[in-house]
Amino acid sequence: MGFLNYVVWLPLAVGVACFLVPRRVAPWLALAGALAVLGLAIGLVVDFEAGVAGIQHSVDESWIPELGVRYQLGVDGISIFLILLAALLWAGATAFSALRGEPGDPARSRLYYFLLGLGETATVGAFMAQDLLLFVLFFDLMLIPFFFLIGAFGGANRIAATTKMIVYTLVGSLLMLVGAIATAILVSQETGELSFALADLRENLLAAGSQEWIFCFFAAAFLVKMPAFPIHGWLPDAYRAAPLPVLVLLSAVLSKVGAYGFLRIALPLYPDAAVTFQEAILVIGVASVLYGSVMAFTQTNVRLIAGYSSIAQLGFITLGIFALRPDGADGAVLHMVNHGLVVAPLFLIIAILFARTGTEDLREMGGMATRAPVLAALFLVVTMATLAIPGSANFIGEFYILNGLFQEKVVYAVVASAGIVIAAFYALRLYQRTMHNRLPEGMVSRELSLREAAVLAPLVACIVALALWPGLILERGEASVEESLAAVEPTQVAER
- Exactly one of 6, 45, 58, 108 binds other proteins (CB under 8 A); that residue is 108
Closest CA to 384 of 443, 431, 344: 431
Instruction: Report the distance separating Cα 25 and Cα 46, nearest Å.
Output: 32
Q: How buried is residue 64: exposed, middle or buried, by Cβ count under 10 Å (0-12/13-18/19+)?
A: exposed
Angle between helix 80-99 and 3-17 (nearest 10):
20
Is 26:109 a contact under the CB 8 Å cutoff? yes
159 makes contact with other proteins (CB under 8 A): yes
Instruction: Report the distance separating Cα 292 and Cα 311, nearest Å.
Output: 5
Instruction: Report the distance separating Cα 385 and Cα 379, nearest Å.
Output: 10
Candidate segments 48-56, 157-165, 267-275, 372-380, binder of other proteins by CB under 8 A: 157-165
171 makes contact with other proteins (CB under 8 A): yes
Residue numbers 422-461 binding other proteins by CB under 8 A: none
Is 260:78 a contact under the CB 8 Å cutoff? yes
Question: Residue 97 or residue 162: which is nearer to other proteins going by CB?
Answer: 162
Q: Cβ of residue 169: shortest distance to other proteins, in angstroms?
A: 10
Q: Cβ of residue 110: shortest distance to other proteins, in angstroms?
A: 10
Amino acid residing at 137 = L
Is 96:247 a contact under the CB 8 Å cutoff? no
137 makes contact with other proteins (CB under 8 A): yes
Element (H, E) at 71: strand 69-75
- Exactly one of 81, 113, 138, 262 binds other proteins (CB under 8 A); that residue is 138
- Exactly one of 25, 36, 50, 174 binds other proteins (CB under 8 A); that residue is 174
167 makes contact with other proteins (CB under 8 A): yes
Q: How buried is residue 208: exposed, middle or buried, by Cβ count under 10 Å (0-12/13-18/19+)?
A: middle
Element (H, E) at 174: helix 158-191
- Exactly one of 15, 33, 117, 151 binds other proteins (CB under 8 A); that residue is 151
216 makes contact with other proteins (CB under 8 A): no
Question: Residue 69 or residue 266: which is nearer to other proteins going by CB?
Answer: 69
112 makes contact with other proteins (CB under 8 A): no
Q: How many residues bind other proteins (CB under 8 A)?
A: 36
Question: Residue 196 or residue 395: which is nearer to other proteins going by CB?
Answer: 196
Residue numbers 175-204 binding other proteins by CB under 8 A: 175, 177-178, 181-182, 184-185
Amino acid residing at 362 = L
Is 27:109 a contact under the CB 8 Å cutoff? yes
256 makes contact with other proteins (CB under 8 A): no
Instruction: Report the distance separating Cα 258 and Cα 310, nearest Å.
Output: 13
Question: Residue 269 or residue 337: which is nearer to other proteins going by CB?
Answer: 269
β 56-64/69-75 pair status? antiparallel
Residue numbers 24-83 binding other proteins by CB under 8 A: 63-67, 69
- Exactly one of 57, 70, 158, 335 binds other proteins (CB under 8 A); that residue is 158
Positions that interact with other proteins (CB under 8 A): 63-67, 69, 107-108, 111, 133, 136-138, 140-141, 144, 147-148, 151-152, 158-159, 162-163, 166-167, 170-171, 174-175, 177-178, 181-182, 184-185
